[in-house]
Structure 1
Amino acid sequence: MSREIPPTGKRSGPGSSPELRASHADRDRVVDVLRVAAGDGRLTAAELDERLEAALSARTVGELVALTTDLPPVSASGVATVAEVKDVLRIDQRFSPVTRVGRWVVPRRLELAVEWCEVTLDFTQAVITQDTLRIDMDMQGETLTLVTKPGVVVDTDGLRLEHSKIKIRQDPDPGAPTTLRVELVGRKIHGRVVVRPPRRTFGQWLLRKPLSLPAGD
């Protein structure tokens, strides 16, 4: 039977004493776990900041384990998911739609070089492991759509528009702590940039209920 891996990535056993000195890799793994938990809505921004500070200053494995005892255990597959985070993801495409939905892993930086492509980036269930995503844009034609959730904010101050428009709709909970800041820089020629929350279901529209996300997102 396979055993779960503690957030530090070490297996339980005689060689994993809580008093064992923590390495830089141990701290980095716990930082990734905490950021994923915040992206899933399990930690507030204040809790994340407090635990990150404690993780970076931790001296022993026991101190690190204490920071994640109330979070789901990290399995080997969970560690692999964190490892898939890319520093830079480049999308270079023409005439075909680009879509990122579901539990896609948000890179640290995205280079978007597309012509006449509809582009949709849906952050509602995305795996977020850092607090900032920079999108370097060179986009001509069609619409860039960013689907956000409470805690995801979009900054368009660095974006140059040429014959284009921006439409931004606030999330249902504008007071939520920021978990991801998306910075759009570069240029958009022709077309639109749309920032919006998830669409209501037909039942939510009929009942006029506030839009809620699935548990853990």
Structure 2
Amino acid sequence: MEKETGRIEAFSDGVFSIAVTLLVLELHVPEVKEGANPIRLLEDLKLQWPGYIAFIISFFSIFVIWVNHHKIFKQIYKRNTGLMFANGLILFLVSLVSYPSALLARFYMTDSRQLSVTIYTGLFLVINLAFNLLWEQASRDKKLLRPGISDVAIKQLRNNYLYGFPTYLAAFIISFFYPDFALVICVLLWIFWAASSKKITFTESSIT
């Protein structure tokens, strides 16, 4: 079967690349005079640590999203309108990641910490819903999928994202009370997604 999704994947990769690039724009050089005391510069750099954390978390979140997006499209050979719009929703949400990341960097050490984390976790909750929608659109008609993909693999991929939803929802709710713990939950979910991708059986005859 000829693969019809090449242009979708190429466009998607471009959006992911731009989203990662936008994150870097939130790393600012301290506003100190040229030739200033290095101790002063070091102190100013230390004050920006929430921005570094926000960048690291957001970069690896986009990376994990891209890995899962690639994993899904390895199994999708044909396209329809519903699938293209579901994919477009994911790309739209990924392009927004830099904004809540900037909020985290700027307001994490203020009284607005809780709100910034809630917005951040809320975005990833919606991204998880978008992934569930994408796979539902793809697997609804097995003719869109790679020849030979097993029913077990279809179910495993579906469960992989369905299991993420209640966890992201928990992180979103917890962010109202314990924002630091909510961020930890998000990080643990990314680790889970990275680890679980190796345990999926893609064909009727092979088990990985």
TM-score category of the 2 structures, normalised to the smaller one: under 0.3
| Higher RCO structure (Cα 8 Å, ≥6 apart) | 2
Greater strand proportion: 1
Greater helix proportion: 2
